[in-house]
Structures are given as structure tokens and as C-alpha cells.
Chains A and B, each alone.
Chain A
Amino acid sequence: MPRVEFTRNLARQTTAPPCQVEGETVAQALEAVFARHPALRSYVMDDQQAVRKHVVVFVDGTAILDRQHLSDAVRPDSEIFVMQALSGG
């Protein structure tokens, strides 16, 4: 199962532990995480359900291309990192 990990700065604000979830796309994987930790959603996604402007999602070291629908594919052994973008400060 893909592993999802969040920048440690997020843990200061809300519950954001690393976890392993089912999913073939970034959207599916993150939805699985948000199902476990609903408060985390609004910190990663904006109110129109796109990735927040100053948040970056990496899959196996590469930033995802589809920030609107998060359709980028993930493999069973993929590592997904949700990080702060330097554009945010």
C-alpha cells in the first residue's frame, strides 16, 4: 500500500500522522487519509478541493502535475509526501 507522510509542521496544527492506505491515484490515497483524519483535509486542500496554493505533493520524489484533481498515479510501494511549498513563506 502507498505510504503517505506529511510535513512535520502540519502536526503542530492538526492530526497528520504517517499512514499506509489503499489507492491507485494521489486523490484516492489522500481521500483514504482524510477519511481517517477529517480535520486534515482543509489544511491540504482548498475549499474547491484543489491542492492549496502553497502546499506541494510529491510522489516518489516528483511533484504531482494534476493539482486540481490529483489524478497522478501511485504504485503500491509509492511514497507520497505532502510538504509546504517555499512560495508560502
Chain B
Amino acid sequence: MSTKFYLGTRKGLIQVERLERGWEITRTSFLGVSVPMLLPDARDGRLIAAVEHGHYGGKLHASSDDGLTWQEIAVPVFPARADDEPEIICPMSQKPIPQSLEKIWALEAGGPDEPGVLWCGTVPGALFKSTDGGASWKIVEGLWNRAERKEWFGGGMDWPGIHSVCVDPRDSQHVTLAISCGGVWATHDGGVSWELLGKGLVAEFMPPSEQENLNIQDAHRIACCAAHPNHLWLQHHNGIFRSTDAAHTWERVTTANPSDFGFAVAVHPQDPLTAWFVPGTQDDRRLPVDAALCVMRTRDGGQTFEPLRTGLPQHHAYHLVYRHCLEVSRDGRTLAFGSTTGSVWISEDSGDTWQRLSADLPPVYCVRFA
């Protein structure tokens, strides 16, 4: 069973461990400072934290002793815009999109065959790659220079952002990512060239002529099955989609119960038919349906869903769960999720029952198992 996970919160990093007497908070780091993203790197045991100072900007820190001590490492730097290079104007707000780091929104390790490779997705929407464990970063020009980037716009934030990066366990050069709002993209050569995917996705927030435009889809979160990486699940702004061909085509799942709106998705690491979601009331309210919190699970590839409520508050529960805040561990049975209202729940039985770790934490931005 997985026995440790980390929370990135509005007020710091919180480490949670399974002790003999149960799950407990065992360490905190960066108290008072926002931690939007974390990466426990299984390859070398390092823990990497994105730290976002309200005044002093975004930084990255790494720890080799499980958070006891930290060293600041390099942070992605956007390329300077040449004087004769036109600004990119957000097609929605008609404001220029800054060419400067606002938020680190995705951190993932490269494959086990490429030690030192890290991927970092940001707001505004850009992808950075490090080949030296975060000592330096380079913008991934193959994506940055795509003309389609001018059409991306913010979903939930002022600017577009890359929030999901899936490295294929079979082939480290194959990476799939998602952008709010800029669709689903994949590379098969480690980031040199990119292909826009997503046939079957539908953006109902756009006029009819644009709803099937792959480049403006608002994928809230994508997650792939570790044992069957061609199988991905997608929580989209307009519903739940599933792909069995490595994100090329998607089928909309219409059986969600009680709702197909949400942000987070977790996929069973061995069974591609099993996935979990935290449904909400679409779309302008963004609350648990009927103010009764549940996690929604399918075990048959989306033919049916079951709302899991045991241990979760069912009256006047106004918890929203952001896209990085629901995780399943490698055992496929231990799950954790955290809310904007500072509650964290843990399940040790695939979601059948839940226990609340705390209701007193800061807003939770990400949950990651060690």
C-alpha cells in the first residue's frame, strides 16, 4: 500500500504519511508561500516543488532528503521578445499575452531511460524541458513556434496554460500534453515536433462553427493508464472523454452519474477501464451536485458510473477539487483528493470509503503520491 503523499497548497507544502495509528501530517515546508505543483521523482528520490511567492515570482526547489532541506534550482525563463516581433494577442480578451512566467502548472519526470529529463508546463502556455535535473531549462521550440499558439486562450486563468504532461512509459520520446484552452498535443521525438490531436472532442462553449476546432478544446485534465498508455481519460470542460488510440480520437462518455462536469481525473495504473472523477454542477456554479460531495468511479470503461459517498459530507458541502488534486497511487487502491476549502480525504479501498485527513488546511492545489 502507498504510505506517503504530498500536498501543494496555497500556504505551503504538506507531507502526509500512513503511520501505525493512521494517516497524519508529518512535515511542512515553505509555510506561507503558495505551492502550485510538486513532483516526487521516482528515478532519483528527489522531491521538486514549484514555489510561487506573491511578490517575488515562481521558483523551483529540490530536496534529496524528503523535504528536510531544500536547494533552489533553475526556473524556466521565457525567451525575450524581439523588438520587431509582434505580441500575441489573446483572441478572447484582446489583450497581449505576457511572455513571462506566471505559474508552473505541470511538472513531470522523463522516462527511466533518460535520467535528468524533466518537463515543465506553464502559464502562459509553454513547455520547458530540462536535461540536467532542473539545473537549466530550455523552452520547447517545436511547440512554442507553432502558429496555432496564437489561437490559444485562458480557461479559468487569464492566459492559456499547460497543465497535463503524460510521458509514455514504453517510449520516453512520446509525450502527450493538454492545454486550457489549446487542445491535446503529442510528440514522438522528445519534443522536436508536435501534432495536434483530439478528434471527437467538442467545445460547447464556442460558436457552432468552432466547436470541433481541435486547437481550442478545454481539456481540464488528461491522465493515461500506466500499463496501457494508449488508453487515456480526459475531463473536458464539456464532459468526459476516453481514448484508446493514444489521444488521436476520443469518445464522449455520456453515462456519468451524477454529472460529467469537473476538473480532475485519475486512472487506475493497471486497469484502463477504471477511472475516478470528482463531479460538480456544470458550469457556472462549480459545486458538488446538490451540495453533496462524491467521487465518481467507472470500472467498465465508462459504460456505467457509481457515485462513491461513504465518508464524504452529504449536506451543505461546497468543496471544489482542482485538476491536480485527485490522485491514485501505484497500488491502484489508495486515493487522495484535496479541495479548495482545505479538506483532504483518503481512501484505501479504491474509493468505496473515505476518511478525512483534515478540514483545516489551506486551499489545495495538487496532490502527489510518493
Contact = CB atoms under 8 A, between A and B. Distances in A.
A39 interface: yes
A47 B55 contact: no
Contacts of B78: 47-48
Given A52-B57, A54-B54, A55-B55, A39 B72 contact: yes
Interface string A41-57: 01110111000101100
A42 B59 contact: yes
Interface string B39-56: 000000000000001111
A55 B56 CA distance: 7
A46 B72 contact: no
A52 B98 CA distance: 13
A13 B51 CA distance: 11
A16 to B, nearest CB: 10
B99 A48 contact: yes
A43 B53 contact: yes
Which of B53, B56, B59, B78 has the most CB atoms of chain A within a 10 A radius of its CB? B56
B57 A43 contact: yes
Given A39-B72, A47-B100, A48-B100, A88 B54 contact: yes
Contacts, number: 41
B56 A89 contact: no
A48 B80 contact: yes
Contacts of B53: 13, 43
Contact of B55 (A14, A42, A88): A88
B75 interface: yes
A60 to B, nearest CB: 22
Which of B54, B55, B78, B80 has the most CB atoms of chain A within a 10 A radius of its CB? B55
A37 to B, nearest CB: 13
Interface in B57-91: 57, 59, 72, 75, 77-78, 80-81
Given A48-B80, A48-B100, A54 B75 contact: no
Given A52-B56, A55-B56, A88-B55, A42 B75 contact: yes
B56 A43 contact: yes
Contacts of A39: 72
B55 A84 contact: yes
A63 interface: no
Contacts of B55: 9, 52, 54-55, 84-85, 88-89
Interface in A25-84: 39, 42-44, 46-48, 52, 54-55, 84
Nearest to B34: A89
B363 to A, nearest CB: 14
Interface in A1-25: 9-10, 13-14
A51 to B, nearest CB: 11
B101 interface: yes
Contacts of A55: 55-56
A46 B75 contact: no
A54 B56 CA distance: 7
Nearest to B99: A48
11 contacts: A13-B53, A39-B72, A43-B57, A46-B101, A47-B77, A47-B78, A48-B80, A48-B81, A48-B99, A48-B100, A88-B54
Given A47-B101, A55-B55, 10 more contacts: A13-B56, A39-B72, A42-B59, A42-B75, A43-B56, A46-B101, A48-B80, A48-B81, A54-B55, A88-B55
Interface of A: 9-10, 13-14, 39, 42-44, 46-48, 52, 54-55, 84-85, 88-89
